[in-house]
Chains A and B, each alone.
Chain A
Amino acid sequence: MLPTIGILVISTAISLFEMPNLLKNNKTKELWVFIILLLIGTSLSIALCLKVNLPNPLDWITFIFKPFSDFIMTTLK
């Protein structure tokens, strides 16, 4: 519970830090990207705190490249 609140606090701090600047200068595209990234970051961090089993992108990469890796291993052993 406590880490989750901490993360939310940090997220709001970050947005308070950046948002005024973006709103003032009317940078809508940046604002949207900022919000999306912040949401991704916050949700990932909260999910980690709650010990949700998140998928590991490196595992997908491993899946794609395993055949090449096996090929290298067999030819160069």
Chain B
Amino acid sequence: MDKQMISVRQLTIIVMFFSIGTAILIVPASISQEIKQDAWIATFLGVILSLLVVKLFIIVGNITTNLTLVEAFENILGKYVGKLISIAFVLFTFFAAGELLYYLGDFMQSAVMPETPIVAFGIMFMLVICYGVYLGIETFARSAEILFPIFVLIFVLFVIFISPQIDIKNIQPILESRTKPLIHSILLFTSIFSFPLVVMLMIFPASVNIHKSASKGIYIGIIAGGIVLVSMITLAILVLGAPNASQMSYPSYAMAQRISIGNILERIEIIMAFLWITTIYIRTFMYFYASVLGLSQILKIKDYRPLVLPMGMILIAISLIVHPNIIHSNTFNNEIWLPYSSVFAILLPLLLVVVAKFRKIKSE
């Protein structure tokens, strides 16, 4: 398959969608449970912390020009260690994709269509994603570009429509929570928001033209994603109130249900669902693409396309194994995801940077 390139603008859009991911649905609930109405503060600080995380990724990207992350593992860390770590990374992204597939199916089933089995949603979604991966990252980037203005329009409308129901009292008193739960929430948010961006390193240096402004593009993307999430969480607290927001399974969807303008514009929540179906689609695609591409690079296969369909099949099966129910998924995300993802998002990149510098010093 020919080398596919994406533009910086496409990269920015993908980063924005990717970072929003499932956070747009999960984050209000999991974070407000601990720190209640200060959840927006945790989100805001988490976005700022994420800028540092992204800086780390960009440093790695600068070292590994023209290599994807998997290739970089082998290049910098040596053949055997590199291959082992690459396998772990591919498994990481693959399982993450499976988790997302389950999550989307669960949302559709519990909020919209209760009798439909989750598999059905998984299969439908996977068909689209497999087709997308087959066509390559360029086509995918173009599809993200098309989705972007629609997303922005619906998001802005959403914010406008729900604002009349804001009760400023819901966010008071400000800064009532203690420091420790606040720090925990900030870390939790960052792990869902920006740690997964390590997956972007599979496409970052290798497939992007105009290298220099690409870094700026990534920063813009993550700030844009951050704006969306901070607004979502702040609105969730202002409109629903902290007790409700923390206990609801899907607070953003509940908010969309509350929209009622002049008794005419009502019951439009499924249009709002377009927002997170889009972001979950982008995130699942990236995870899956990373794992397919990564596997093909580990096995030194030039064209990853034959692998797509069988891996897609495995993924659907994985999505049903990985979380037997939503409680398992919530517990996993609240407790295990933070240390688990930090290994791949913080430890490994740091390792790469250190070893690369070390090798450079050695060879000079």
Chains A and B in contact, CB within 8 Å: yes
Q: Which of A37-77 contact B (CB under 8 A)?
A: 37-38, 40-42, 44-45, 47-48, 54, 56-58, 61-62, 65-66, 68-69, 72-73, 75-77
The listed residue (B306, B321, B338, B340) touching A30 by CB distance below 8 A is: B306
- Which size class do B's interface residues fall under? 20 to 34
Closest residue to B180 on the A side, CB-wise? Answer: A76
Known: A18-B309, A42-B313, A76-B180. A58 touches B339 (CB 8 A): no
Q: Cβ of A76 and Cβ of B183 under 8 Å apart?
A: yes
Q: Which residues 308-322 of B sit at the A interface, judged by CB distance below 8 A?
A: 309-314, 316-318, 320-322
By the criterion CB–CB under 8 Å, are B310 and A34 in contact?
A: yes
Residue of A21, A27, A37 with most chain B CB atoms under a 10 A cut-off:
A37
Q: Do B322 and A56 touch (CB < 8 A)?
A: yes
B321 contacts A56, CB within 8 Å? yes
Contact between B299 and A33 (Cβ–Cβ < 8 Å)? yes
Of the candidates A27, A37, A76, which one forms a contact with B310 in the assembled complex, judged by CB atoms under 8 Å apart?
A: A37
Residue ID in chain B nearest A7 by CB atoms:
B313
8 additional A-B pairs beyond A56-B322, A66-B336, beta carbons within 8 Å, are: A34-B307, A38-B310, A45-B317, A54-B321, A56-B324, A58-B99, A58-B332, A68-B339
Question: Do A69 and B321 form a contact, CB below 8 Å, given A18-B306, A33-B299?
Answer: no
* A56: chain B residues within 8 A (beta carbon): 321-322, 324
CA distance A41 to B317 in the complex (A): 7
Q: Is the CB of A37 within 8 A of B332?
A: no
- Tell me whether A45 and B313 are in contact in the complex, defined as CB-CB below 8 angstroms, given that A57-B322, A61-B336, A73-B335 are known contacts: yes
Interface residues in B84-110 (C-beta closer than 8 Å to A): 91, 95, 99
Whether a CB of chain A sits under 8 angstroms from the CB of B164 is: no
Query: Is the pair B313, A11 in contact by a Cβ cutoff of 8 Å?
Result: yes
The one of B181, B183, B184, B317 that contacts A48, using a Cβ cutoff of 8 Å? B317
